[in-house]
Amino acid sequence: MSSNKIRWPSWPLLVPALALLAGILLVPLADTLIRSVSTPGWTLSNYSNLFTDGVTLTVLWRTAVTAATVTAAALLIGYPYAYLMTRVSPRARGILLVIVLIPFWTSVMARNFAWIIILQDGGPVQSLFEFFGADDVVFYGTTVGVTIAMTQVMLPFMVLPLFSTLGAIDRRLLLAARGLGSSPTAAFWKVYWPLSRSGVMAGVILVFTLSLGFYVTPALLGSPQESLVAQLLAQRTTLLLDFAAAGALGILVLVVTLVLVAWANRMGGTMSAIGVVAAGRTEGRR
């Protein structure tokens, strides 16, 4: 180490990011929090109302169920997909990656209107079901349709952390398990699956928490009778102008999300798995 170099502290590198965060997140969040407990007067009634108004809990539950369904579907599709990505040539892997990232690169409106056209009454999907004799299948305006469209856009958040975790698993461990007496199925469940769990947790938490806040897709593809939390929030802020009630709802969702992330983090490896994705190490693995 040369002595004539001044060792600057490294924390000032964070200043721009912290300033931005303070401006667009912390200050509005604090404002929301204060309003939610100070209108009308200092009270927690905005929070207690959430549990008694008969609507919020129903919507929250529906949102959680939808997010859980999307998460499960993304995992079921994403796990084999990510596994395949670790097993093919770099070229094929690139193609698979592009396919999964296409919803990312498509404008939100274009993507959702495309789903409307595909899922609408008399659209190709419905026609297909009618062809096979199921003429009462409706996707447009239902939670099922919303779930399908959400799963598509959530898939990268499941596939990328899974891919980085699965790609790092030493496949010789599977051979070792086979040699020690495990059938291929047993080797998967006793060795591969446990080693992939941090990636699964990362994907599940990412998809679930992001799904909780979906607005455009349920607004366009769903029905007002089956709205999700984000729609309820929009309604309370833009139509009812009840910022205190909306703030309380927002804070509740935030707390639930943070609790989930903290729990998942304790289950191990989640943050590191997300970090791996963020660091762009998803490419260039064997």
Nearer to other proteins, 117 or 180 (CB): 180
* 182 is an interface residue for other proteins by CB under 8 A: yes
User: Nearest distance from residue 201's CB to other proteins, in Å?
Assistant: 14
Q: Which span sits near other proteins by CB under 8 A: 168-176, 242-250, 252-260, 273-281?
A: 168-176
What does the alpha-carbon distance between residue 207 and residue 154 come to, in Å, rounded to a whole number?
6
Amino acid at 99: I
- What CA–CA distances, in Å, run from 56 to 31, 33, 53, 140, 167? 22, 18, 7, 24, 42
Residue from 180, 240, 255, 278 that binds other proteins (CB under 8 A)?
180
User: Nearest distance from residue 264's CB to other proteins, in Å?
Assistant: 17
Amino acid at 219: A
Nearer to other proteins, 14 or 176 (CB): 176
What does the alpha-carbon distance between residue 200 and residue 182 come to, in Å, rounded to a whole number?
23
Going by the DSSP 8-state scheme, the letter that residue 8 receives in this structure is: -
Cβ-Cβ contacts under 8 Å for 172 (sequence gap 6 or more): none
Going by the DSSP 8-state scheme, the letter that residue 41 receives in this structure is: S
* 170 is an interface residue for other proteins by CB under 8 A: yes
User: Nearest distance from residue 267's CB to other proteins, in Å?
Assistant: 13
* 186 is an interface residue for other proteins by CB under 8 A: yes
**Judged by CB under 8 A, how many residues of this single chain contact other proteins?**
18
* 89 is an interface residue for other proteins by CB under 8 A: no
Residue from 48, 58, 183, 272 that binds other proteins (CB under 8 A)?
183
Look up tokens 């935030």; give the residue: 254
* 271 is an interface residue for other proteins by CB under 8 A: no
Q: Are 49 and 248 in contact (CB under 8 A)?
A: yes
User: Which residues bind to other proteins, rule: CB under 8 A?
Assistant: 170, 172-173, 175-183, 186-187, 190-191, 194-195
